[in-house]
Amino acid sequence: MKKIIFIIFFIFSTALFGRNYTELQEWRQKKLPVDIKKGVRVEVYDFESRHGVKYEYPAINIRVHNRGSSAVTDLVITIWFWKNEGVYVKELVLIGEEGEYRKKLFSGKEKYIPSERRYYNFKDIKFKEIERLEIQITRIKTK
């Protein structure tokens, strides 16, 4: 009897976690469109994608990815500036489905972001809800 219960539990849990993993893989393939207001080249891709890309100077990578075992977990934004000392950002906005969901992460005054990797964790935003990211870069400070 215990073996039968264990087998049923194993099959159920495999199906459940397998479905979540497939959903997660689909969201990892999602590329977010980015609107840039200053014409700075930006690529948005998943954090798990580690393929090297040659960038012309200056280059900015913005990786939007989720943290956890499901596609509906917390949103994490990684901003990395290659060969730059940093940038001044005036606005960073996440936009959800059909513009209904709009979250300004910071806006107004310029915010300086140094060239090292920066992780922004937003626990109230779900990765699945985001369709577009807008960033307004005012200045680039080079080394």
Nearest to 88 by CA among 142, 35, 141: 141
**Number of domains comprising the chain:** 1
| pLDDT of 82 | 52
pLDDT in tens, 65-99: 555 544 444 455 555 555 556 666 666 666 665 55
Number of H-type helices and E-type strands within the chain: 1, 9
Token digits of residue 91 = 């606005």
| pLDDT of 54 | 36
Residue-averaged pLDDT of the chain = 54
| pLDDT of 112 | 72
| pLDDT of 142 | 58
Q: Does the pLDDT at position 118 exceed 60?
A: no
Dihedral sign for Cα 103, 106, 110, 113, please: negative
Domain with 37 in it = 2-142
